[in-house]
Amino acid sequence: MAKKKVTLTTNKIEARREENLEGTIVYRLPFPKKLDKESLKALKDLGPIVKRQPYHVEYLHSYGQDSPFFAGLTNKVFLGNRDPKTGYTYATPRGADMYSGCETEWVQLPDEGRVHAFTVCHFGSEEFLPETPFVLAQIEFEGVDTLFLTRIIGLDPNEASLDWIGMKVKARYLRNAKLKPTDVYFVPMGSVEE
């Protein structure tokens, strides 16, 4: 079998990555100056390297068929969807009925409901971690077949009680909408916040 001859081009190709002073820069990371059998063996006792690094991602996305829901929240209107044939009503945006697959229609939902179930969150995503503990609840509405997952503000999470089940609650909206599901939250009826 004949070997192919590899020819290198005479064009200069940079064989080194460009470096700058942005991001993580490491100083004085402990490492043996001389690599011999003993020092390589000792590397297993090297503690883990821990670094802190900012992370930023900018997303460009569309709410698509759910856009009316977020437009409603921005205008302090709570919207859901209904199957026009069966009347089955969803408290969260849904473009098609889950049983028939038919396109749903937008309907205005009541601003008042009742706590169906709740939990106290002691941990949360990065966005909500500073707010822990908080009360997360499923709200049921008259004439609506599904529940809506939301925060309840105005209850002490350290005093959680089964008495909260069935409690009447009312929707509140952020004054400065963020186009997020958290633009709406609920407060107990008759509370000071109300």
pTM, rounded to two decimals = 0.69
Cis geometry, peptide bond prior to residue 133 (ω within 30 degrees of 0): yes
Instruction: Decide: 148 and 139 in contact? Cβ < 8 Å.
Output: yes
For residue range 95-148, list pLDDT tens digits in order. 999 999 999 999 999 999 999 999 999 988 877 788 889 999 999 999 999 999
Largest CA distance in the chain: 90
Domain boundaries, the chain: 65-188
Strands of the sheet containing 79-82, edge to edge, are 89-90, 79-82, 105-108
- Looking at residue 176, the DSSP 8-state letter turns out to be S
